Amino acid sequence: MADTLLRSLSLRFQRRMNVRTTAKIRRKGGRMMGMDMLVLHTVGRRSGQARETPVTWFADGDGWLLVASGGGDRHPDWYANLMANPDRAAIELHGQDRVPVTPQRLEGAEREQAWQRIVAAQPRYAKYQAKRERKYPVVRLTRR
């Protein structure tokens, strides 16, 4: 019961922070803590409700790379929602209209190459990954 209560409080706090961060991205630009941010639009895999999540991104040619870190022992909900409903995903960059995107989870050598670019740009991700047993998924988004 204590675990359920703690998770519920954590989710409420996370949602509140997501709303504030999303508003800040829209109002002041897409950078926070020295990282480029976008608003990821997904649909809840269980609820079917629209979701907006601020996420760090990395340039990848004409696409975007995302790391499903989330700071916990399991993949973040935005990642599960994105992969469950890939045809309903979109992103919003500061000052731009919503862009429909197609997600692709990178595997093998392709993931490793993208990961090396990510940690070169933001070494903190290597530190985050070293603290977790799970391997962070790397997702490439391309315009639909």
Residues 106-136 have pLDDT tens digits of 999 999 999 999 999 999 999 999 999 999 9
Q: How confident is the model at residue 17 (pLDDT cuts 50, 70, 90)?
A: confident
3-state secondary structure 8-49: HHHHHHHHHHHHHHHHHHHHHCCEECCEEEEEEEEECCCCCC
- Bridge partners, residue 52, by sequence: 41
CATH number for the domain that contains residue 83:
2.30.110.10
What is the number of domains present in the chain?
A: 1
Q: Is the full-model pTM beyond 0.75?
A: yes
Task: Name the residue with tokens 């990848």.
Answer: 60
Domain that holds residue 139: 2-143
**Which ranges of the chain does DSSP label H, i.e. alpha helix?**
2-28, 77-84, 108-121, 124-130
